[in-house]
Amino acid sequence: MQKTSARLLALLSLLQARRDWPGALLAERLDISARTVRRDVDRLRELGYPIASTKGPDGGYRLGPGSELPPLLFDDEQAVALAVALRNATTGVGVEEAAARALHTVRQVMPARLRHRIDTLQVTPVERPTARPNPQVDSGVLMALSAAVHAREELRFEYAPVSVPDASAPHHPVRRVQPHHLVTWGGRWYLVAWDLDRADWRTFRADRIAPRIPTGPRFTPRELPGGDVAAFVAGRFQGSDGPGGWPCRGEVILRLPAGDVSPYIRDGVVEELGPDRCRLVSEAWSWAALAADIGRFDADIEVVGPGELREAFGRLARRYADAAGDTSGG
């Protein structure tokens, strides 16, 4: 039998790998008794890991979220992917300094073989030329806006005019809105909201918003004109023809934060749906090109529509499967 410390690490690694584990299966995988599994689970709980017991004929265990972040285990590929993502954290959300500190923490505890892999990866980001650089948005502002959107609570904020873009400066006009969507367009963050004082829909640049606390009462969401946030935002900035006038336009849900997706989207709108989900509405010159462009994101994809985009993913899947199975080398 493994030593207790090694066994605990192996148990924690298994609990992180899937949502639910029957106790008998854990015992089998670790080659220990069910009683030892129970004792080891109790030890992990004492160390701060929120492990819940699941009931039923195959009663087992589930690693859940806790009030604090306990130590985590990553396999080699996960650790390298995390380090690469932190090194290239250019989301325009003002997290670059925090990302650098997180990368230093991760690198310190990496084995030498993994440190060598990430140290040899040197990337120089080159931004697409623009008339003016996109402003940074405080992550706390984005969190406050996102929370109000999801809670359906009225929001008050000071809104800096274009001539005075510093949202933290005093004496800016106070706006009262019902926030509906937090989106990105052209690398900038926007709040789509119903303006209570003007009785109309408005889009507000997040970098010019200074939220006031507390938020207001809850509200019943209104229906956005046209019912489509991507078309609405595109219409506000480029007229009614859509983001880029391309012939093929589709919508998907990506299992990625909006900030990880928006820097790479030129002809489309990214809407935050949660900390690890976003809605992408994008365009391309063909359905295959659109599917391939979306497929570059290393994430689960849910096609909302239309059917032509779903069919294009199917065609590409078959082509990729054929290519992966071709071992002739010819």
Render each residue's pLDDT in the chain as its tens digit; 330 residues.
457 777 887 888 788 777 788 888 888 888 888 889 989 889 888 888 888 888 776 678 888 776 556 666 677 777 777 777 776 664 555 566 677 777 777 777 677 777 777 776 655 554 555 445 566 777 788 888 988 998 999 999 988 876 555 555 556 678 899 999 988 877 678 899 999 988 888 888 888 899 988 888 999 989 888 778 877 887 776 543 344 456 788 999 999 988 888 877 776 888 888 888 899 988 887 888 899 989 989 889 999 989 999 999 999 999 888 888 755 544
Any domain includes 150: yes
Name 180's Cβ contacts closer than 8 Å, sequence gap at least 6. Answer: 149, 192, 193, 194, 221, 222, 224, 229
Any domain includes 125: no
Do 214 and 277 lie in one domain? The reply is no
Query: Is the distance from CB of 63 to CB of 57 less than 8 angstroms?
Result: no
Any domain includes 272: yes
Any domain includes 244: yes
Any domain includes 330: no
Do 252 and 179 lie in one domain? The reply is no
Domain boundary among 196, 222, 248: 222
Q: Which structural domain range is residue 24 located in?
A: 4-63
The whole-angstrom separation of Cα 283 and Cα 281 is 7
Name 271's bridge partners: 183, 279
Whether the pTM exceeds 0.85: the reply is no
Do 181 and 243 lie in one domain? The reply is no
Beta strands in the chain (DSSP E): 21-22, 51-54, 60-63, 155-159, 174-185, 188-195, 200-205, 209-211, 248-254, 268-274, 277-284, 301-305
Place of tokens 């849910």: 302
CA torsion angle 304 305 307 308 (round to 10): -130
Domain boundary among 26, 41, 63: 63
CA distances for 205 relative to 49, 70, 147, 231, angstroms: 40, 36, 17, 17
Any domain includes 263: yes
Domain count, the chain: 4
Any domain includes 57: yes
- C-alpha closest to that of 89 among 312, 262, 267: 262
CATH number at residue 12: 1.10.10.10
Name 289's Cβ contacts closer than 8 Å, sequence gap at least 6. Answer: 248
Do 266 and 297 lie in one domain? The reply is yes
Do 250 and 320 lie in one domain? The reply is yes
Do 112 and 167 lie in one domain? The reply is no
Any domain includes 184: yes
Do 210 and 148 lie in one domain? The reply is yes
Do 218 and 165 lie in one domain? The reply is yes
